[in-house]
Structure 1
Amino acid sequence: MTDTATDKTVHLNVKVRSATGEEVYFKIKKNTALKKLMDAYCTRENLIPASVRFMFDGNRLKPTDTPEKLDMEDGDMIDASVEQTGGY
């Protein structure tokens, strides 16, 4: 039997939204490094992790950031966009 009050304080449900507006939902612990979420998103979307920029509240996320460090709340959204490299 789990204590749902405790579960709610330990886990967050967050959305990762692509540039096209598609949303992918993740359940993550507040103290888990966001690298785990970033890698899972890239694997699911068949993207190269180094080519994807993750933003939260206008700031670029670092793989070592945690939801707790960023004061994320249940239902928050992270924006993911594929970085464009220069053209000719």
Structure 2
Amino acid sequence: MSEATINLWVKDDTGEMIFQVRPHTPLKQLMDTYCARTGRAHGGLGFLAHGAPCSPTRTPDALGLTDGDLIEVVPA
């Protein structure tokens, strides 16, 4: 049986978008998809969850993110 997904909001200076992710999938997948959708380079961005930087290797579960939580995208 497949793992349930959660919805995470990603907010930047232009607005918000929602991503459906699995709690145990590294955030790199979300970050890469965000960059592809927006045409922005990952190296120039920081991703924050609960105000703290997110490592691409961490998972939503490890960061305590739950359905509906927000990840902020800021200039690095």
TM-score using structure 2 length: 0.91
Deviation string, structure 1 residues 15-71 (Cα, Å, up to 9, x no partner): 000024x00100000000000000000110000011110001110000001011011
Please tell me whether Structure 1 or Structure 2 has the larger radius of gyration of its CA atoms.
1
Q: Which runs of 4+ in 1 moved over 2 A?
A: none
Aligned residue number for residue 61 of structure 2: 68
Alignment map for 1:1-88 (pairs within 5 Å): 10-20=4-14, 22-83=15-76
Over the aligned positions, Cα root-mean-square deviation in angstroms equals 1.6
**Bigger fraction of residues in helix:** 1
The size of the alignment, in residue pairs, is 76
Give the whole-Å Cα distance in 2 for the aligned partners of 1:19 and 1:61. Answer: 18
Percent identity, aligned pairs only?
33
Structure with greater contact order relative to length (CA < 8 Å, sep ≥ 6): 2
Unaligned runs of 5+ in 1: 84-88
TM-score using structure 1 length: 0.80
Unaligned runs of 5+ in 2: none
**Bigger fraction of residues in strand:** 2
Aligned residue number for residue 86 of structure 1: none
Give the whole-Å Cα distance in 2 for the aligned partners of 1:35 and 1:53. Answer: 12
